[in-house]
Structure 1
Amino acid sequence: MRFKMKRWINYLLGGCCISLLTSLSFAQTQEASLNRLISQQRLSAEAIGIWVERIGDSAPLATHQPERLFNPASTIKLATTLTNLIALGPDYTWRTEIRATAPIEQGVLRGDLILRGSGDPGAVSEEHWRMLRDLQRSTGLKRIEGDLILDTSYFNLPPGDPGAFDGQPYRAYNQLPHPLLFNANSIRFHILPERGSDKIRIEAEPPLPGMEIVNQLTRGSGSCDAWQRNIRYEVEGTRVIFSGAYPSQCGAYELLRTAVDPEFYAGELFRLHWQQWGGEWNGRVRTHSGPALNAQLLMVHHSRPLSDLIRVANKWSHNVMTRHMALTLGAERLGEPATLEKARVALNDVLSELGVNTSGMFIENGSGLSRSARISPQQMAQILQAGWRSPWRPEFISSLSIAGLDGTTRRQYRQDPKRGQMHLKTGLLNQVSGISGYLRSQCGEDWLVVLLINHPEAHQGLGTQLQQQLLEWVYQQPHREGRCQGLN
């Protein structure tokens, strides 16, 4: 143990902010001197929680404040995705039902068409387009003479404000759950300066028919690094207004934002794709959230399997996807409709069944977009341990960002020996930084690592720096048997 302590101290003294880690409880000796080093840093020891464990060992190699509760930011998605994987299975799919209030006769529905969603987290335009193709092929339906009814009864959620978290209601990460959400209710706006003219074209993807784009952009010559390239984005009802002097020398630009409510989005996407398939419909869009309607089932569209969707949710830290997964888990275990309380109970129950101590843990919505979510480094480590023991270990680990290759860590470690050797889940909010996951050391051993930081400056680079130093230290750990068959 003295040898390990000496190696650790020498490593810590070699770089900026590394002495923060010297309070890790490798041993009780020299604790006072290590704490003196920590007190000299901008991040206090009280702001940091750590758990480092070699897979197969009976105890962690290093811990710091392992039982203290921290805000985990998006690292809590590990809990949401693992519980879904364990309780529902990797082949689980979400259903979108299409029903009719009257029979289809000679390709005509003289009644209403009903779309009932169950919160498919990965519903995108391409799947919606194919769903309507399949509907026409299987039923022969070409003309709808009634209304489109959006059945939203699968979720029972209180009204919410997408801007409540940080005052940014049109940022895609703030989108609230909805049982009939397509493309996460977001729109990709393409800003396209035209060659040989002063015109700047704006195209929306998808091009919702009832949404109006007001283009007031002018050509400018500002910096390409300016916030949103000087584009001002405003929404008035179903009108989206773009203004500002766009630096046209920068070329094309994409802006991903929300703009309209999910019911309007679902109705207009239906109108767009129905017309593309040659269908006729001029009715209204209505919403139903009460008891099930008496209607004939025409078809069921199934989502991509859960094992595919958790890859998107974890690698790209997709908030509303994991919120849907939490709600689904609650409805599947405790019955419809899905509620936040059922989601929280179900998440805790499944984690407890996996051997995770949930005392004091609070998962507000499953995504980590929360100021009240709490978990300890030890509890997060227990989640990683459960994932490693699971028969679905390959599916779970492969859903995490591969350092230097994809997801939220794709830009880090590109020219580093650790590239491709770490599967990680990141978390970042104002005053919160975290990283948790699995690492293969240079000696070929597998480790699990948890680092949670809650500090006013955690999100301003200090958290990332500390993550890098800790991961490097773990990567360089010697083999438990003193040999090394790793990459060096």
Structure 2
Amino acid sequence: MLDLLALILGNLLGKTPPPIEVVPVVAWQEAKVFDVPTQSDPVVESIIADYLQRLSSLGFSSNRQAIWLQSDWAYLGDHQAKTPLSAASLTKIATSLAALETWGTGHRFETEFLKVGTVENGVLKGDLIVKGSGDPLFVREEAIAVGNKLNELGIKQVSGNLIIVDNFAMNFKSDRQKSGQLLQLAFNSSRWTPLIKKQYQTLPPNTPKPQITIQGTVKVENNVPETAQRLLKHQSLTMAELLKQMNIYSNNVMSEMIADSVGGAAVVSEVAAKAAKVDSHEIQLINGSGLGVENRISPRASVGMLIAMEEKLQDNPLNVADLFPMGGRDKTGTVQWRNLPDGVAVKTGTLAQVSALAGVIPTKERGPVWFAIINHGPNIDRFRVEQDRFLQRLANHWNLTPVVSPVKATQPVKLGDPKRNIQTES
């Protein structure tokens, strides 16, 4: 305003006003209010150096250890971070990411139950058919719920065979014949083993006990007969719930099934590398579980995949911590005996002489801090102790602010929920 008045007065008095100083235009992204700390943290660098030195003093070669540590906006420290190393079950991070990229969090696998023949006086005069689609957590509780629904539909006995078609697995048995036999047993409560009776006790009180006898045998076929009629379809837990169960227990069969449904290890590798924005050579997989030293992932890629998952979930009420075990929250699975800081979500990895850990530390100062540690050597237990000690030192350096999900993702999953059976009788 003053500059404008000076200009007007100057013109009125016949004087040439001084030139107006040009003020550079600053993009809003570059304004000071958006300035975030990107400088190195000497304390963090010292903690990393001490960690590597301690491992060296215990006889572990530093050339066989690797670390990557970063916040959302800043590199914080590394050691051999871009080298793809045997990463054990960190592979499941890639499988989880590929599953989210393929289906999202709400996807459910469906298992169809069909009949060939008619139902008369409680007897299905024909075959009962199961058509799977890759549900990796179809367990006894789920089978009991399906058996009860079939009883409701009037089926108490099958005069023919139990036929298994496509990708059906029960109780983590990839062999379809064995899975069919387990299903046959679960359907007939008069033949339940003590283990099945124990698992039945975990279901809500007054849950019925299914009674379906199958007079024929279990057979595996390639196709559903054209004359088959639909009875019901059983929906799995959501993809988010499946991934949480897979990761908290580091279940190899579940991860293999999910990876196979995505398209196999090569597809998982490609999808994960693209989403994580890393070179393809940093994620080299032969399967979706991590079984085998040939599965190789760099620490940087491990972190990149976790960040990609968080970005994928940004419009979702869930976050990465809802898909992995968390210190101070989860009391079972792979973190049961760990001494992790409360609020730190992790994925563990153990195989032969490999001990790995990757996850996120929620801090007040830096926001989420992402990390990956891959250790190689003969003493897995010692590595775990040192990894936990490393994270505790970082937690003591920062003020932790555990992320609380707006949804009740920490509640136990509801296996055997009859609401996931949908009648489709045709």
TM-score by length of 1: 0.63
Given that 2:162 and 2:184 are in contact with CA atoms closer than 8 Å, whether structure 1 keeps it comes out as yes
Given that 2:72 and 2:369 are in contact with CA atoms closer than 8 Å, whether structure 1 keeps it comes out as yes
Q: 1:429 to 1:3 in 2, by over 3 A?
A: closer
Secondary structure of 1:402's match?
coil
What residue in structure 2 maps to residue 327 of structure 1? 260
What residue in structure 1 maps to residue 300 of structure 2? 378
Secondary structure of 1:110's match?
strand
Deviation of 1:65 (Å): 0.5
Whichever residue aligns with residue 140 of structure 1, its letter is: G
Deviation of 1:103 (Å): 2.9
Please point out which of 362, 385, 398 is paired with 1:465. Answer: 385
Secondary structure of 2:112's match?
strand
What residue in structure 1 maps to residue 417 of structure 2? none
Secondary structure of 1:369's match?
coil
What residue in structure 2 maps to residue 45 of structure 1? 62
Number of residue pairs matched? 342
Q: 1:273 to 1:365 in 2, by over 3 A?
A: farther
Whichever residue aligns with residue 372 of structure 2, its letter is: V
Q: Where is the helix percentage greater, Structure 1 or Structure 2?
A: 2
Q: In 2, distance between residues paired with 1:349 and 1:393?
A: 27
Q: 1:2 to 1:323 in 2, by over 3 A?
A: closer
- The answer to whether the aligner puts 1:313 opposite 2:246 as a matched pair is yes
Secondary structure of 1:381's match?
helix
Given that 1:432 and 1:454 are in contact with CA atoms closer than 8 Å, whether structure 2 keeps it comes out as yes
Q: In 2, distance between residues paired with 1:92 and 1:467?
A: 34
Q: 1:273 to 1:446 in 2, by over 3 A?
A: farther
Counting only pairs closer than 5 Å after superposition, residues 221-232 of structure 1 correspond to structure 2 as: none
Deviation of 1:383 (Å): 0.3
The RMSD of aligned alpha carbons is 3.1
Counting only pairs closer than 5 Å after superposition, residues 296-307 of structure 1 correspond to structure 2 as: 296-307=229-240
Counting only pairs closer than 5 Å after superposition, residues 84-483 of structure 1 correspond to structure 2 as: 84-137=99-152, 139-151=153-165, 153-154=166-167, 179-181=168-170, 183-185=171-173, 261-272=178-189, 276-288=209-221, 290-294=222-226, 295-330=228-263, 343-354=264-275, 355-391=277-313, 392=316, 394-406=318-330, 407-413=333-339, 418-419=341-342, 421-441=343-363, 443=365, 445-457=367-379, 459=380, 461-477=381-397
Secondary structure of 1:471's match?
helix
Whichever residue aligns with residue 46 of structure 1, its letter is: N
Deviation of 1:4 (Å): 4.2
Given that 1:99 and 1:297 are in contact with CA atoms closer than 8 Å, whether structure 2 keeps it comes out as yes
Please point out which of 50, 56, 59 is paired with 1:19. Answer: 50
Deviation of 1:400 (Å): 1.2
Compare 38-47 and 116-125 and name the one that shifted more: 38-47
Deviation of 1:316 (Å): 1.6
- The answer to whether the aligner puts 1:55 opposite 2:72 as a matched pair is yes
Q: In 2, distance between residues paired with 1:476 and 1:101?
A: 65
Given that 2:69 and 2:372 are in contact with CA atoms closer than 8 Å, whether structure 1 keeps it comes out as yes
Whichever residue aligns with residue 435 of structure 1, its letter is: L
Whichever residue aligns with residue 142 of structure 1, its letter is: K
Given that 2:70 and 2:369 are in contact with CA atoms closer than 8 Å, whether structure 1 keeps it comes out as yes
Q: In 2, distance between residues paired with 1:119 and 1:273?
A: 29
Whichever residue aligns with residue 312 of structure 1, its letter is: Q
Q: 1:453 to 1:403 in 2, by over 3 A?
A: same
Residue by residue over 1:98-127, the C-alpha shift from the partner in whole angstroms, topping out at 9 and shown as x without a partner, is 111223345432211111222311112222
Deviation of 1:49 (Å): 1.0
Deviation of 1:477 (Å): 4.2
Residue by residue over 1:209-253, the C-alpha shift from the partner in whole angstroms, topping out at 9 and shown as x without a partner, is xxxxxxxxxxxxxxxxxxxxxxxxxxxxxxxxxxxxxxxxxxxxx
Residue by residue over 1:41-94, the C-alpha shift from the partner in whole angstroms, topping out at 9 and shown as x without a partner, is 41111111110001232xx21011112111111121111112212311111111
Q: In 1, distance between residues paired with 2:285 and 2:85?
A: 12
Secondary structure of 1:403's match?
coil
Whichever residue aligns with residue 102 of structure 2, its letter is: A
Given that 1:401 and 1:410 are in contact with CA atoms closer than 8 Å, whether structure 2 keeps it comes out as no
Given that 1:74 and 1:367 are in contact with CA atoms closer than 8 Å, whether structure 2 keeps it comes out as yes
Deviation of 1:442 (Å): 6.5
What residue in structure 2 maps to residue 340 of structure 1? none
Deviation of 1:326 (Å): 0.6
What residue in structure 1 maps to residue 6 of structure 2? none
Q: In 2, distance between residues paired with 1:486 and 1:123?
A: 36
Q: In 2, distance between residues paired with 1:307 and 1:7?
A: 33
Whichever residue aligns with residue 288 of structure 2, its letter is: G
Given that 2:346 and 2:357 are in contact with CA atoms closer than 8 Å, whether structure 1 keeps it comes out as yes
Gaps of 5+ in 1: 13-17, 23-36, 155-178, 187-257, 331-342, 479-483
Percent identity over paired residues: 25
Given that 1:82 and 1:387 are in contact with CA atoms closer than 8 Å, whether structure 2 keeps it comes out as yes
Q: Which has the larger radius of gyration?
A: 2
Residue by residue over 1:236-275, the C-alpha shift from the partner in whole angstroms, topping out at 9 and shown as x without a partner, is xxxxxxxxxxxxxxxxxxxxxx9x9434323322344899
Q: 1:411 to 1:135 in 2, by over 3 A?
A: same
Deviation of 1:148 (Å): 1.2
